[in-house]
Every structure is written in C-alpha cells, then in structure tokens.
Structure 1
Amino acid sequence: MTAPTPRLVHIVDDVPELSGTDSLTMVVALDGFLDAGSAGAVACRHLVAAGASGGGVVVATFDVDELHDYRARRPAMSFVRDHYEQYDAPRLVVRLLKDAGGTPYLLLHGPEPDTRWEAFCRAVKEVVDRFGVTLVVGMGAVPMAVPHTRPIAITHHANNPDLLTGASPWRGELRIPSSAQALLELRLGEWAIDAQGFVAHVPHYLAQLDYPRASIALLEHVELAGRLTIDLSDLIALAEDRDEEVARYLAANTEVGEVVAALEQQYDAFERAEESGSSLLAEDRPLPTGEEIGRQFERFLAGLDPEEEEGRE
C-alpha cells in the first residue's frame, strides 16, 4: 500500500481576526538567495518585533523537512560543556500581524526551500485561498556596484502590469538564476493572483553585513503597495548606527574612500544621462570591480564587532 504524501503546509482552521476582511496583503521574504545585506531578513525581524501578541500569530506552518537541505545549510546548535542543546530548527511560517494602524496582514518568512519549488508554490496558493489574500508583495535585495552615499535604488516587478508604478530602468531580457520566491510570483500570475515585488540595490561591498538602510527602502515600498502603515523608527536608528560605522572607517582609510568616490562619480554620471535621456550608459569611466572593492573592505569586515556578526549569522 502506497504511503500518503505528506502535506507541505498546515493551516490554522479558525482565525477570527480575519473575519470580515475583504482586502488582505501577504508580504513574502525568503532567506538564502535574494537577500544582499540581509535586507529582507532584517525587515522581517522588524515586522515581527513590531507585531502584537509577541510577534503575531502563526497561522500556517510549512513542513521544513520536505523542503530544506540540512547539509547545505546546517542549522546552528549549542554544545555546552558535555551536551548538545538549543537547536535552532529552521522554520518557514506565515504569521498574522497588524500594522501601526491595526490593519491585519500576513508575513511569509523563513529559509527559501531547497527542493520541491512547484509543490511549495501550490502550498502557498492554499494559504492564499484559505485566507482570501488579495495581494502578495515580495521583498529582496541584490548586490550592485553602487555607493552607499546615494539613495537606495529599487527594482519593481509584478505579474500584473497594472501594479507597476513606473517605467523599468532595465532594457531587453536578462537571464538570471531563479529562486523559489521568483517562481512563486510567476505561478501566482498564472493562477490570476496579483503579486508584485521590490528588490533593493545594495552596495556590493556591504552585501555581507546587515544593511538596515535597504530594509527601510523595501518597507517603504511595501507600505505603499500593501496600503499598510509601518513604524520604521527602530530601523532608522539601526541604519544611522551602520552609516556612522562605515563613515568612521572611510575617514580612517583614504584608499577605500577613493574607491567609493569613483562609484559616486559613476552613479552621478548615470543619473545625469538618465535625466537628459541621452543614454543609459554613464560617461567613459572605469567602474571598480567587486573584487577590487572586496579587497579594500576586507579590513572593514574583519574589524566589526564579532559578537554582532555572530548574532547575525
């Protein structure tokens, strides 16, 4: 006799907080791939911390054992003198949260599935159908050759053209590595479910650090798209601390400052070209490579507070 196929998602039957709700947004941010500067992860931690009832109510739980490659991404645990304890089991869940004005919304967060992406998308659709989600909004971040001294650029994408608020700066077709989150947006569109997302452009020399400035930019766009109100004051304080830390390092390391200055020149030239409509290409200046900037910032990364970075990991 064939064993029954395990369910990928377990959904709470009774959620009275959503009774009578005719418009519901679900925010999605999956860890593991599209999250330079941990922008999405930091944003999720902020939303959970700001939620009521100790981080909101978990209304759906995915079977991580069916989706996670433990050998590729080994969860942390503690060894205390002579025994193991405090195993940090990966969790992929949907939480019911409320914004600053009391409006309910859902948050799907946790590690990106390593396997069974199509089954995962179908499981998310079960959640969408069960709670009557009317809009899915994704968050992500990619490393880019941009300076941290300029505004965070955002790429907006959607499976419904009516959701887009402006023209895309990208031209033509880009072949990129896929992700479970990107596939989810594609499949939701095929199922006539509106989904859109925002990808923050993070300076690639800061991509391995928590970069709250990008998290703020993402959540500001989520607010507008999902018609939510999110208190960002704690995140703004974190971003200011990070900015001061980077500024102190640049002041003490002129060679690194020169690299950032070159990126600023390239960025500004690109902006001038865009505004004039003459060309998407910046002036003929050599753009510092990721390897060059990475070498320049090795000391910066090594000099961070090890307890802070250990906690982030």
Structure 2
Amino acid sequence: MKDSTDPQLAPRVLIAAFQGWSDAGDATSEAIQHLIGLQQAELLHIIGGESFVDLQLQRPKMFRDDDGRRTIEWPDTRLYGTVHRPGVVVGRGQAGSSTAGASAKADSEGETITRIDGSPVHDLFFMPGYEPGRDWENFADEVVELAEVWGVDLVVLLGSMYSDAPHSRPIITSVTSEDPELRQRYGAERSDYEGPVGIVTAIDVALEAATIDSLSLWVQVPHYVHSAPSPKATLAILDKLEELLDIVIPRGELFAQATDWESNINRIAENDDDMTRYIRSLEEARDDAMAAETTGDALAAEFEKFLEQDSRGAAAGAALLEDDAGLEEAASLEDAAGSESAATLEDAESTESTAGTAGTESDLPPGADPDSPAGPTQPSAS
C-alpha cells in the first residue's frame, strides 16, 4: 500500500455509497453517480448482489442496449476507477449503463475532477452499491479486500439521513472518524452514537480492524420531502468532499436542480398552512441553534484567550511577588539591624552617663575632659 503520509504522493481515495437505509433523499447515490460521470472511470470489479441482496426488495432492472438487445442490470456493488494503459485514451461513458447519461453530459461539457492547481486526478475510486439484506460481515470483508488490492489509502463512506432539517437552510454535514490523527487532519469528530446502524457503519468497523483509514461523511435531509430526491443534499456532499480532498468538482446542473427543488417545496408550502407553520418552526429552531453555537464559539474563544492571558499574568505576578518577598525580607533584616544598632547605642549612652557620674578620672582616657565623656565607637547601622 502506498504511504499516504508522503507529501509527494496524493493518497488513493475510495468513495463509497450504498442505496438503502443510509441514502435518504438519494443524496449519496446521486453524488457518487455524478462523480463517476465526471471522472474517466471504468468498471474494475463487481461484488455480485445475488449472494447478499434480497432481490424481492431490490428488483433487477431490464433495459435495452444500443443494439436493442434486452439486458438485465442486477443490484450489484461495483468498483470504478481510472486505469492507465500505454497508448490508450480512456473516454468517459465507460462507468456503466446507470451513469451513461451523466457521463455523456460531462464529456460534452469537457468537465472533469481536478486538483486545486488544475491538474487531473487519477487516484480516485468509486463504489456505488446496494445495502445487503444478509451476510453483512462477509460483504464488508470483500470491500476491505478490494481496498487492499487496489492500494487504497483512505475510504470515504457517504451517508444521508432524514432529520428535522428545514429545506430553506444550508444542509448540515458531519464528518466522523475513530482515528484521532484523522480527526485532527480533516477536522472530523468522534461519533458517540449508539443504536441501529447500516452497512456503512459495518464497513467502517471492518476497515478500522484492517487498519485502513476511513472517514464517514453524513448529511441531513428534510424528512417532510422524503418522496423526492434532494439535489441540495447532494451538493452539500460534493462541497464537503472538495474540502476534505482538496479537489475541484464541477457541479453541472445540480445548482439549477437544487434551486428548482427548493422553489417547488416553497410553492407546496404556500398552499398548506400547517406545513408553512411547521417549516417556520424548524427555521426558527435552526436559527436559534446556529446563533447559540456561534455565540458559544465566540465566548469559548474569548474565554480561552482570557485564560491564556491570565496564565501569563499569573506567571508574571508570581515573579513579581517573589521579587517583592525578597525585597520585603531584605527590608525586614535592615529594620532588625537598625533596631539592634539603636538599642546598642542607647545602652552605650546609658553606660557612659553612669560612668561619668560614678567613675573616677582614672577611668577616662589619658588627656580626656571629664566634662566630655568619650563613649565607645557607635556601630554602623549599615
């Protein structure tokens, strides 16, 4: 496997999405089909769905090829990527029948995924599939094996869920990882969720056990428009992928589709007072939450700054207190010495006065004036 920590080498990234429980509003499946359509990707491997998928729930689809022959498309999980062959130019439109329209559109517009500097991206793999109806552990092991075979450094698992999210506000995205280094590198968080899970989580756990780096990218889709695909949520996924992988993803017609999607919901809500009130309550709750979060972040930043300044001030204050304590101790010693000197001088003067009264002339130094007593030399206070 290639060392993804080498700054000279771009990591090989696998982006995976599965129709079913973790594909609310078709947001993840539409996102990955859009990416396949943009990239020069071809089919590399198939994980047969017959061993994992309940075909009564995920019915195979029949279509006719360019020659008019009937073909059945099974609910398989496929791996797509770019294969470089000497002297062969890989064209778009080779990503499978389900992406032919998107691929042709991307080819006609000359759009493709690039890096920030405009250079092409050749290290992306895509895995669209269906959530299995059984044998999840073996299915997850097959995904892990493919990641190892193709030298994948990072797996990004896409998910979308229905929530109390207003359609008129930005779609909320979240990125999680169990690896603290990945959380720091990509600004991810550690999920504390406990409860029912989908195949995305099962694969994530299997990747962790195989020591393959992985991120989970989830978006929230308004639950009251569950019957229609959500291009706005698809856009949110692409926006976050750009940020995580430092790439540029053309959006094509998604901007227009997202605008039409939001406008259509607004028109429906205008004729339904209950729906209008409900959406307004969701908007107010979202705005209040965002305001509180913003205020909380600002307060936290200010408090952190205050603590940092207070820490520096406390250190400086401690130094000053230490200096003051030294000065105070010196002054105390000086006062004590001065008091002792003054007491000594007072005793000397008292002794001298007594000697002058009761003493004899022999007690005085030779030539001394009896009326001018000569006491002992005064000790210096310094």
1:30 to 18, 23, 46: 18
Larger fraction in helix: 2
Identity rate, percent: 25
Give the distance between the partners of 2:80 and 2:246, measured in 1 at CA. 18
Q: Provide structure 1 residue ranges, at least 5 long, that are not aligned to the other structure.
A: 1-19, 79-84, 279-313
Q: Which residue of 1 aligns with 2:329?
A: none
Q: Give the partner amino acid of 2:59.
A: R
3-state SS of paired residue (2:81): strand
2:197 to 178, 198, 209: 178
Q: Which residue of 1 aligns with 2:120?
A: 102
Aligned pairs for 1:1-313 within 5 A: 23-52=11-40, 56-77=41-62, 87-97=72-82, 99-100=113-114, 101-104=119-122, 105-164=124-183, 165-166=186-187, 168=189, 173-277=192-296
Q: Give the partner amino acid of 2:19.
A: D
Using the TM superposition, give the Cα deviation of residue 27 of structure 1 relative to its aligned residue in structure 2, in angstroms: 0.2
Task: Say whether the 8 Å CA contact 1:200–1:217 is kept in structure 2.
Answer: yes
Change (3 A) 1:169 1:125: closer
Task: Say whether the 8 Å CA contact 1:153–1:201 is kept in structure 2.
Answer: yes
Task: Say whether the 8 Å CA contact 1:159–1:185 is kept in structure 2.
Answer: no
Using the TM superposition, give the Cα deviation of residue 77 of structure 1 relative to its aligned residue in structure 2, in angstroms: 4.5
Give the distance between the partners of 1:181 and 1:122, measured in 2 at CA. 13
Using the TM superposition, give the Cα deviation of residue 229 of structure 1 relative to its aligned residue in structure 2, in angstroms: 2.1
Q: Give the partner amino acid of 2:76.
A: R
What is the alpha-carbon root mean square deviation over aligned residues?
Answer: 2.5
Q: TM-score, normalised by structure 1?
A: 0.73
Aligned residues: 249
Using the TM superposition, give the Cα deviation of residue 25 of structure 1 relative to its aligned residue in structure 2, in angstroms: 0.5
Give the distance between the partners of 1:220 and 1:208, measured in 2 at CA. 24
Q: Give the partner amino acid of 2:55.
A: Y
Using the TM superposition, give the Cα deviation of residue 129 of structure 1 relative to its aligned residue in structure 2, in angstroms: 1.5
Task: Say whether the 8 Å CA contact 2:25–2:160 is kept in structure 1.
Answer: yes
Q: Which residue of 1 aligns with 2:380?
A: none
Give the distance between the partners of 1:112 and 1:225, measured in 2 at CA. 25
C-alpha distance after superposition, 1:128-170 (max 9, x if no partner): 1111111101111111111111111112111312222447597
Task: Say whether the 8 Å CA contact 2:175–2:188 is kept in structure 1.
Answer: no
Give the distance between the partners of 2:268 and 2:49, measured in 1 at CA. 40
3-state SS of paired residue (1:118): helix
Give the distance between the partners of 2:35 and 2:12, measured in 1 at CA. 16
Give the distance between the partners of 1:268 and 1:51, measured in 2 at CA. 38
Give the number of the structure with larger relative contact order, counting CA–CA contacts within 8 Å between residues 6 or more apart.
1
Give the distance between the partners of 1:25 and 1:166, measured in 2 at CA. 17
Task: Say whether the 8 Å CA contact 2:144–2:206 is kept in structure 1.
Answer: no
Structure 1: 4+ residue segments shifted above 6 A: none
Q: Give the partner amino acid of 2:149.
A: R
If you compute each CA radius of gyration, which structure gives the higher value, 1 or 2?
Answer: 2
C-alpha distance after superposition, 1:101-128 (max 9, x if no partner): 4212100111112222211222112211
Task: Say whether the 8 Å CA contact 1:202–1:214 is kept in structure 2.
Answer: yes
Using the TM superposition, give the Cα deviation of residue 274 of structure 1 relative to its aligned residue in structure 2, in angstroms: 2.3
Change (3 A) 1:254 1:22: closer
3-state SS of paired residue (1:74): coil
Q: Provide structure 2 residue ranges, at least 5 long, that are not aligned to the other structure.
A: 1-7, 64-69, 83-111, 298-382
